C-alpha cells in the first residue's frame, strides 16, 4: 500500500479544470453511498458545487447588496500607506478619518431596509442567491469589517489597543444572516472569506488590501491566498480517496504539500511585506476573538482528523471560522477514527501505513515552522501580534528556538495521544 504523505511530497502537475469538474461530479454522485462520502458531497454543495470553493461576487448578487462591493472598492485605496507613523496621536487621526469615510460611503450607497428584505428572501429562497453568491458576499462584508476594524495598513498599535468597537449598522445588521447561512460564529473574517472566497474565476483577488502599492506588495498579497487555494486544488483527490478509505481501507497515491515549499519563497511572498501588509489585516483581536490562522486550512485539518491526531479544536473554536459543511466533513472523519478501526480489525499493514503518515505530517510541520521563521519581523508601529492568536504578551514570538521548541512539544503531545 503506497503512503499518503509520500504522494503529497512528490512532484505534481496541475490538474486541468475539466478534470476537477469531473472529479466533483463523481464525488457528488457518490454522496448517497456512505456517511463520509455524504459529508464530502455536502462540502462541495456548500462551496459553490466546487472545491476549492467557487465564490461569485457583485455580478451575481441581488441589486440591494451590490453597493457593498462598490463601497469596498472605493475604500481600498485609502487603507495602505508606504510608511507607518510612530506617532499614536497621528495614527488616531488617520484611523478616525478612514472610519469616517467608510461610514459616509455606507450611508450614501447602502439602503438597509432593502438589504434586510433581500437577505430575508435569499435566506428562504435559494434561487434568489446561490451558495456561490453567499460566499462572495461573506468575503466582501468580512473585508469591510476588517477594513473598519484596522483602518490603516500596516496595522498600528493605536488600533490594536482597542478591546471593543461599534461597527456601522450597515456592517452589523447583515452579518447574522451570513453567520446563519454558513454556520459560523466569528464577528470577523476567516481563511475561507479572506482566501478561498476572495478570488474570481481568473484567481485574482477581488477585495484587495494593497491597492495602489507596488507589484511586490500585490504579488505578496496574492500568494498569501494562492498558497492555500492551490493546495486545495491538489487536495480534492486526497479527500475522495480518504472517503473511499473510510469504506474500504484502500488508500491510493495522492499529492499536495510540495506546493507550499515550491511557492513559499521570497519572490512570491516578500518577507518584509507579508507581515505588515497581509498578516495584520487578517487579525481581529476584539472582545477576545482571534483572527485568521493557517491552521484553518482544510487540508491540514482533514489529515489531522483522518489520522486521529489530537487534541481536536473545540466545537466552539471551530464554529468561529469554519463553515458548517467544513466542520461536518472533519467531524465525520473524527467519528470514523480509522486508526482505532484498523487496530480493532488487526490490520497491521494499514496500522503501519497510518503511523508512517503521522510521522511524515509531523516532519512537514516542523519544516513549515522553520520556513515561517523568516517572516517574523520587527515592526515598530505595532504591538507584537499573530493574526490567529491576537496580541502577544511576551517575546517568545520573536525567539526562533522558542517557536520551534513550542511546536515540537505540541506535536509530541499530539502524537502521544494518537498512540
- Binding residues for heme b are 368
DSSP calls for 20-85: HHHHHHHHHHHTTSSHHHHHHHHHHHTTTSSSS-----GGGS-TTTHHHHHHHHHHGGGSB-SS--
Q: How many residues does the chain have?
A: 419
Q: What is the largest CA-CA distance in the chain?
A: 67
Neighbours of 167 (CB within 10 A): 18
3-state SS, residue 153:
strand
In whole angstroms, give the CA distance from residue 192 to residue 197. 6
**Which residue, 45, 295, 282, 249, is CA-closest to 150?**
282
Q: Report whether 239 contacts 326 (CB < 8 A).
A: no
Mode of pairing for the β-strands spanning 385-386 and 390-391: antiparallel
Whether the CB-CB separation of 318 and 327 falls below 8 Å is answered with: yes
Residues 168, 173, 179, CA angle at the centre, nearest 5°?
120
Please state the residue numbers annotated as binding site.
368
**Burial of 235 per CB tally in 10 Å (0-12, 13-18, 19+):** buried
**Cα→Cα distances 245→231, 251, 255, 307, 327, Å:** 21, 6, 16, 12, 19
CB atoms within 10 A of CB 32: 9
Amino acid at each position: 500500500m503506497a503512503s499518503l504523505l509520500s504522494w503529497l511530497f512528490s512532484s505534481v502537475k496541475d490538474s486541468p479544470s475539466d478534470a476537477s469538474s469531473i472529479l466533483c461530479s463523481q464525488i457528488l454522485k457518490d454522496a448517497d453511498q456512505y456517511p463520509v462520502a455524504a459529508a464530502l458531497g455536502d462540502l462541495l454543495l456548500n462551496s459553490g458545487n466546487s472545491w476549492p470553493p467557487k465564490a461569485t461576487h457583485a455580478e451575481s448578487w441581488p441589486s440591494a447588496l451590490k453597493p457593498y462591493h462598490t463601497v469596498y472598492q472605493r475604500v481600498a485605496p485609502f487603507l495602505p500607506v508606504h510608511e507607518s507613523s510612530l506617532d499614536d496621536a497621528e495614527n488616531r487621526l488617520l484611523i478616525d478619518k478612514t472610519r469616517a469615510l467608510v461610514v459616509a460611503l455606507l450611508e450614501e450607497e447602502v439602503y438597509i431596509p432593502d438589504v434586510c428584505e433581500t437577505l430575508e428572501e435569499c435566506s428562504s429562497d435559494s434561487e434568489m442567491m446561490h451558495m456561490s453568491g453567499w460566499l462572495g458576499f461573506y468575503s466582501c462584508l468580512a473585508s469591510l469589517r476588517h477594513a473598519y476594524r484596522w483602518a490603516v495598513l500596516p496595522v498600528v498599535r493605536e488600533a490594536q489597543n482597542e478591546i471593543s468597537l461599534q461597527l456601522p449598522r450597515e456592517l452589523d445588521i447583515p452579518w447574522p444572516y451570513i453567520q446563519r447561512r454558513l454556520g459560523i460564529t466569528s464577528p470577523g473574517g476567516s481563511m475561507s472569506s479572506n482566501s478561498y472566497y476572495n478570488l474570481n474565476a481568473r484567481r485574482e483577488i477581488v477585495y484587495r488590501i494593497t491597492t495602489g502599492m507596488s507589484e511586490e506588495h500585490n504579488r505578496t498579497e496574492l500568494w498569501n491566498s494562492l498558497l492555500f487555494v492551490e493546495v486545495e486544488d491538489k487536495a480534492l483527490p486526497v479527500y475522495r480517496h480518504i472517503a473511499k478509505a473510510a469504506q474500504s481501507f484502500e488508500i491510493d497515491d495522492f499529492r499536495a504539500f510540495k506546493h507550499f515549499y515550491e511557492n513559499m519563497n521570497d519572490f512570491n511572498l516578500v518577507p518584509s511585506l507579508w507581515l505588515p501588509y497581509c498578516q495584520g489585516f487578517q487579525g481581529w483581536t476584539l472582545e477576545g476573538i482571534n483572527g485568521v490562522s493557517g491552521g484553518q486550512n482544510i487540508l491540514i485539518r482533514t489529515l489531522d482528523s483522518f489520522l486521529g491526531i489530537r487534541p481536536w479544536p473545540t466545537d466552539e473554536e471551530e464554529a468561529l471560522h469554519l463553515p458548517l459543511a467544513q466542520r461536518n466533513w472533519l467531524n465525520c472523519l473524527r467519528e470514523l477514527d480509522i486508526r482505532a478501526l484498523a487496530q480493532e480489525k488487526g490490520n497491521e499493514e494499514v496500522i503501519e501505513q497510518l503511523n508512517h503518515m503521522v510521522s511524515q505530517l509531523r516532519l512537514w510541520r516542523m519544516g513549515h515552522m522553520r520556513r515561517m521563521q523568516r517572516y517574523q519581523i520587527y515592526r515598530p508601529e505595532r504591538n507584537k501580534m499573530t493574526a490567529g492568536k491576537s496580541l502577544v504578551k511576551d517575546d517568545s514570538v520573536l525567539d526562533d528556538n522558542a517557536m520551534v521548541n513550542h511546536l515540537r512539544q505540541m506535536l509530541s503531545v499530539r502524537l502521544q495521544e494518537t498512540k
